[in-house]
Amino acid sequence: MFGFWKKKAPVAPVSPLATFDSLIEGLERQGAEVRKSAATLLALKGDLGRSVERYTRRLEDIASRRLTAETRGDARAVDVLERDRAQAEQLRAAARASLERVEQDSRLLLEAAAELGARVVELRSERESASARIAAGGVVTEALRARVQRFEQVLALEAARDEVEKAHALAEIYREEQRSSPERTTAD
């Protein structure tokens, strides 16, 4: 009714090499995504670095203009420039904080990409070793199969020899009986 008692289809055995290949492929995809993300963060790092430089130049310009306004005695211009300086300081601080975060994150992603790359190299080496062991195992299996076949042939030969020996022994027994039979018949 609900399929609880249905037999599940047998799962085909998965080749160990296919398992290695699947894992390597997954790690390579993951490594590519990590490298792509790191590249994005590195590009953002460049943009943020330029933003920090731009806000620093802007602050220098504001300081120069404020000094000029102070020497002229223009209080209103000094107030406006002070607000501009405070805003530029906030923007530069935010850009620096973002830059530090991006640097940390990109460093972390680059380390992760390197670790994934190293893991892929290890797995490729392990796969090659497994492939060689499987190939050697196949050769050994074939050699053992041939040896078993020779052993079976030897056993069959021994069985045939035993049958021949039994046949000779049986023939000898009949011969002995026949030799003793004429004597029995004449003795009767």
* Digit-coded pLDDT (tens) for 35-49: 999 999 999 999 999
The residue with greater pLDDT, 15 or 10, is 15
102-113: per-residue pLDDT in tens? 999 999 999 999
pLDDT band at 149 (very low <50, low <70, confident <90, very high): confident
16-187: CATH topology: Helix Hairpins (1.10.287)
Whole-number Å distance between alpha carbons of 127 and 122: 9
Amino acid identity for residue 111 in this structure: E
Higher local confidence (pLDDT), 118 or 1: 118
63, 85 Cβ separation under 8 angstroms: yes
| CA-angle at 141, arms to 139 and 144, nearest 5° | 110
DSSP state of 5: T
8-state DSSP, 73: T
Dump pLDDT digits (tens) for 12-35.
556 788 888 898 999 999 999 999
